[in-house]
């Protein structure tokens, strides 16, 4: 089996190597366990055929995907396929495997399989009612930021106060230069990486954006953030994190697990979360990204702007929107973002 060195690490057990790295990248225990279960099942399937993970070709992967049908739902098949694709893509990137056999599988896979599982359908009025029941200043600010910006949990955790510009705040702070001329906005960088130092603090999560993104802040989110900042505990870190714990870890930067816990607690109260429930049923921080994408895309009819706001587009598209940021992006966002308060 091929090996790659990273410090003292090797890939004698590719699955364990991959799981360690996604843990370092800030993935939750729940996510890590899900990857491990799927990858070990696939590994056992290959072992019965005297194959190693680095020896599987696209036909081996497709055969395993095909035999899943009938035993699990189509959305689960899509999830398993995405896990294999992420695993092989990563192991190829670090040089442990020669190629990603799942790349071709995803091109050939039945179009009826959606790579994003069918999720609970929540209307804007229902989400508005949900938000109305979230009264704790931190929880309310976290939930509203996720819903209004579509950022990932790790990206939210990595926000520092300098990444926020608000014109109506009753107190002042210095925002980063990238926000000059862009009032009422949040800057989500693409640089933070788990285990690496950024703005003077080692991070526990990675931002996964293809490019840094400036996202408008509407009046609803601005008011919630002002309320939060007025009572925010003094941060432990000189990086001045925007969101910090108000419980046992008083003043500590939030982690993705903390964010997941906040959302899960409120989703349970609403009947939107159940132990053992999958992505189709449970409302999690990632569901809010799905909600943001779906509703804003449907309201604007502009996939490009939504991709820009999600940080999912390449540099040429980014240039188109950043050049016109003060007009097109803010105008489209302001006119079409849903009201939650």
What does the pLDDT look like over 66-115, one tens digit per residue?
888 777 776 678 788 888 988 988 888 788 888 888 877 776 654 444 44
Is residue 8's pLDDT more than 70? no
Q: Is the pLDDT of residue 65 over 50?
A: yes
Q: Say what the pLDDT of residue 9 is.
A: 40
In the predicted structure, residue 280 carries a pLDDT above the cut 70? yes
Encoding tokens for residue 74? 């189509």
- Assess contact for 75 and 118: CB atoms under 8 A: yes
pLDDT bin (cut points 50, 70, 90) of residue 313 is low
Tell me the per-residue pLDDT of 157-199, one tens digit each, with 9 for 90 and over. 999 999 999 998 888 899 999 999 889 999 999 999 888 999 9
How many whole angstroms separate alpha carbon 166 and alpha carbon 183? 6
Q: Which residues pair with 165 in a beta bridge?
A: 185
Other CB atoms within 10 A of residue 181 CB: 10
Q: Determine the pLDDT at residue 211.
A: 83
Rounded CA gap, 258 and 247, in Å? 10
Mean pLDDT computed over 120-134: 93
Q: Which domains does the chain have, with CATH numbers?
A: 14-114 (1.10.150.130), 124-336 (1.10.443.10)
């Amino acid at each position: 089996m091929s090996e790659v060195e990273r410090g003292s690490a090797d890939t004698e057990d590719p699955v364990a190597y991959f799981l360690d790295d996604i843990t370092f990248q800030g993935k939750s225990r729940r996510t890590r366990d899900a990857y491990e279960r799927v990858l070990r099942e696939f590994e056992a399937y290959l072992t019965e055929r005297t194959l190693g993970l680095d020896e599987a070709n696209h036909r081996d992967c497709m055969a395993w995907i095909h035999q899943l049908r009938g035993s699990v739902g189509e959305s689960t098949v899509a999830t398993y396929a995405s896990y294999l694709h992420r695993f092989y893509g990563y192991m190829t990137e670090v040089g442990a495997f020669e190629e990603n056999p799942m790349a071709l599988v995803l091109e050939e896979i039945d179009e009826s399989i959606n790579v994003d599982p069918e999720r609970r359908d929540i209307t804007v009025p229902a989400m508005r009612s949900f938000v109305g029941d979230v009264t704790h200043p931190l929880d309310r600010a976290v939930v509203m930021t996720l819903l209004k910006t579509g950022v990932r949990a790790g990206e939210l955790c990595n926000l520092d106060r300098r990444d926020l510009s608000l014109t109506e705040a009753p107190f002042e702070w210095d925002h980063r230069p990238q926000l000059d001329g862009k009032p009422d906005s949040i800057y989500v960088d693409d640089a933070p990486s788990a285990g690496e130092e950024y703005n003077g603090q080692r991070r526990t999560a990675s931002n996964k954006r293809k490019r840094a993104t400036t996202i408008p802040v509407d009046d609803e989110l601005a008011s919630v953030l002002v309320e939060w900042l007025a009572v925010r505990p003094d941060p432990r870190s000189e990086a001045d994190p925007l969101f910090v714990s108000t419980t046992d870890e008083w003043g500590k930067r939030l982690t993705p697990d903390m964010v997941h816990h906040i959302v899960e607690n409120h989703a349970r109260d609403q009947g939107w979360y159940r132990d053992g429930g999958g992505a189709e049923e449970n409302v999690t921080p990632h569901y809010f990204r799905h909600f943001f994408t779906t509703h804003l895309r449907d309201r604007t009819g502009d996939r490009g702007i939504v991709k820009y706001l999600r940080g999912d587009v390449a540099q040429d598209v980014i240039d188109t929107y950043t050049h016109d940021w003060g007009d097109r992006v803010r105008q489209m966002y302001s006119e079409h973002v849903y009201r939650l308060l």
